[in-house]
Amino acid sequence: MKITSAEFITSNTDYKKCPLPVFPELAFIGRSNVGKSSLINMLVNKKKLAKTSNNPGKTQTINHFKINDKWYLVDLPGYGFAKISQAKRIEWQQMIYDYLKFRKNLVSVFVLIDSRLEPQKNDLDFINQLGEDNIPFILVFTKADKQTKNKTQKNVSAFCKELSETWETLPLYFISSAETGDGREEVLNYIEATIKEFKL
Ligand SMILES: Nc1nc2c(ncn2[C@@H]2O[C@H](COP(=O)(O)OP(=O)(O)OP(=O)(O)O)[C@@H](O)[C@H]2O)c(=O)[nH]1
Ligand SMILES: [Mg+2]
């Protein structure tokens, strides 16, 4: 799919204030610093559309970007960010949970996993919760440029093995790099197919 336009629309702390749910929407979630905002920028080919940072905890709200005037990409805050108060953590968790559960036009969630790490409990817990709530998702393993293909494959296989303990069928997954653009075509093809199924 060709990206012809990508613009920032709004930042919200409540899903009820998000843009009217009349276009299909895909959201990016995952641990703080995993590369959600960077992946959005890579997909739309605009380096500074979503704000990125070396420090975890950069994205703190629900951010809507309108793409090709026809669908939304949504950048969410990360989970597992240590340097915030307990109260703030609970507030973010509730904001994200309500958004994921109640946003009517959300067609799929991208759960980003750092391809350099062995399976992490908070990623697995998050995915299992999505399953319990019947929220459709796929996985994207990020930062693949930072290591050899072998190492990436080893971590991906280990993650799938962990998932197969609780899941009968494994989710679809892609491997990506915001640096090299690896995975871009695959993710955009998936988005193209998924938004076609959206009905008001
Ligand atoms: N080498 C490399 N670095 C990446 C990649 N993706 C993200 N980064 C770097 O990782 C850091 C975090 O990226 P962000 O996109 O801000 O991560 P995020 O998941 O949006 O983080 P929060 O908003 O804090 O939750 C930045 O320094 C990025 O440049 C990648 O594919 N390859
Ligand atoms: Mg971010």
Closest Cα to atom 14, ligand 1: which residue?
Answer: 35
Backbone angles phi, psi at 137, to 5 degrees: -150, 160
Decide: 31 in ligand 1 pocket, CB within 6 A: no
What percent of the chain shows pLDDT beyond 90? 88
**DSSP letter at 48?**
T
- Rounded CA separation 194/134 (Å): 16
CATH 3.40.50.300 fits 6-196, yes or no: yes
Average pLDDT over residues 144-173: 97
Q: How far apart are CA 6 and CA 96, in angstroms?
A: 23
129's enclosing H/E stretch is helix 121-132
Mean pLDDT for the chain?
95
From the CB of 77, is ligand 1 less than 6 Å away?
Answer: yes
Helix residue spans in the chain (DSSP H): 36-44, 86-102, 121-132, 149-163, 184-196
| Residue 105 pLDDT exceeds 70 | yes
- Nearest Cα residue to 36 out of 9, 73, 6, 89: 73
The confidence band for 82, taking pLDDT boundaries of 50, 70 and 90, is low
Confidence of residue 86 (pLDDT cuts 50, 70, 90): confident
Q: Is the pLDDT of residue 35 over 70?
A: yes
Q: CB of 63 closer than 6 A to ligand 1?
A: no
Across the chain, where does the E strand assignment appear? 6-12, 25-30, 62-67, 71-75, 106-114, 137-142, 173-175
Which tens digit of pLDDT belongs to each residue from 42-67? Answer: 999 999 999 999 988 888 999 999 99
Query: What pLDDT, on the 0 to 100 scale, is given for residue 57?
Result: 86
Q: What is the dihedral of CA 25, 31, 35, 39, to 10 degrees?
A: -20
Give the pLDDT score at 77: 92
Of 161, 169, 166, nearest to 138 by C-alpha is 169
The pLDDT assigned to 1 comes to 93
- For residues 4 and 18, the answer to whether their CB atoms sit within 8 Å is no
pLDDT higher than threshold 80 for residue 81: no
Domain ranges in the chain are: 6-196
